Amino acid sequence: MFRSRCFHALILLVLSTSAAAQLSLSIVDGPDPVISGAKIAYQVDFSNNTSTDVSNATLNLALDPNLFLASFNAPPGWTCSSTTCTTPSFAAHTGFFIYIVATVRPNTRGGTVLMTSATLGDQTVTATTNVLSPALIRSAKTMLPGPYLETQTVNYLIVLSDLGEASQGDNPGDEMTDVLPSSLALVGATANFGTVTANLAPNTVTWNGSVSKSAVIAINVFATIKSGAGGTPTSNQASFSYDADGDGINDTSGTSNILTFTPLAASTLPALSIYGLFALFVSLALLATYKMCG
């Protein structure tokens, strides 16, 4: 039953009875708070407390735009289309209820307050429900295997995914930051979703956006190995922030794995003489001819 223990903490709004219509109307919701992407139920009770039938009565329900309807029951003697119910005669001393189930849209941010209303005649009641969207972000950082040389461009791939109960919202502040080491010069960055910013002077990439539970965020960072950095191990890891308790404010931070490589100095490349270059050219030409004829 709707009036079970699950709903003891629910908001109950009972309208003062209109002196003119003598109709009563109330709405209860649950659970409150509700998790983003989960279902929420409403029960609307309404009755005609007078000794007179009410002609052409209409009950309207207005779901919060962050909800989509899952199920809805029509009271006996009433005709319902979507969330509007009508009856040619609302009999005296009768009462009904409507039970509605809706789903909170999966990307509804934590901290959102749902407002769903019912209107009967000149009366309107509204249930307010708090949305939580608790996330658990994890990140991995990879790059193609080397060797890498001084002045060469490297490409880091940073992946963000959400293993939590609900999606990570685009809450205030950046959700990812990657500060490159001084041996690298940031060139640029791209992302498949959200907003990525390459801050060249501080050598830092930031990413701002939401992380849906069904999505994988891929952020590519491009940087040049500085001249003179050869032989020195270069380490880097990304850091991220997320909303563990789902209230719309990022409260927890984490880091990706540490990625380390040691670029080669340019001087480690063997210099080719003019004869060596000629031999290399002949070898490549023979190889190309072999492949074309083979």
Residue 150 or 243 having the CB closest to Ca ion: 243
Residue 122 or 251 having the CB closest to Ca ion: 251
Q: Which amino acid is at 173?
A: G
Q: What is the footprint of Ca ion within residues 157-176 (CB under 5 A)?
A: 170
- Give the contact letters, 117-156, x = binds to Ca ion (CB under 5 A), - = no: ----------------------------------------
Residue 45 or 243 having the CB closest to Ca ion: 243
- CB 174, CB 150: distance < 8 Å: no
Q: Is 71 exposed, middle or buried (0-12, 13-18, 19+ CB in 10 A)?
A: exposed
Residue 164 or 230 having the CB closest to Ca ion: 164
Q: Is the dihedral of CA 115, 60, 121, 7 positive or negative?
A: negative
Pick the stretch among 17-25, 71-79, 187-195, 204-212 that binds Ca ion (CB under 5 A): 204-212
Query: Could you tell me the two tokens for 141?
Result: 């950082």
- Answer yes or no whether residue 243 interacts with Ca ion by CB under 5 A: yes
- Binding Ca ion (rule: CB under 5 A), the pick from 80, 115, 249, 265 is 249
Residue 230 or 248 having the CB closest to Ca ion: 248
In sequence order, what are the residues at sequence separation of 6 or more whose Cβ sits closer than 8 angstroms to the Cβ of residue 81?
A: none
Residue 149 or 249 having the CB closest to Ca ion: 249
- Please report how close the Cβ of residue 136 comes to Ca ion at its closest, in angstroms: 12
Pick the stretch among 122-130, 191-199, 207-215, 256-264 that binds Ca ion (CB under 5 A): 207-215
The 3-state DSSP class for residue 6 equals: helix
- Counting every residue, how long is the chain? 294
- Please report how close the Cβ of residue 206 comes to Ca ion at its closest, in angstroms: 10
- CB 99, CB 45: distance < 8 Å: no
- CB 158, CB 219: distance < 8 Å: yes
- Closest alpha carbon to 237 in 153, 287, 178, 192: 178
- The residue ranges that bind Ca ion (CB under 5 A) are 170, 208, 243, 245, 247, 249, 251
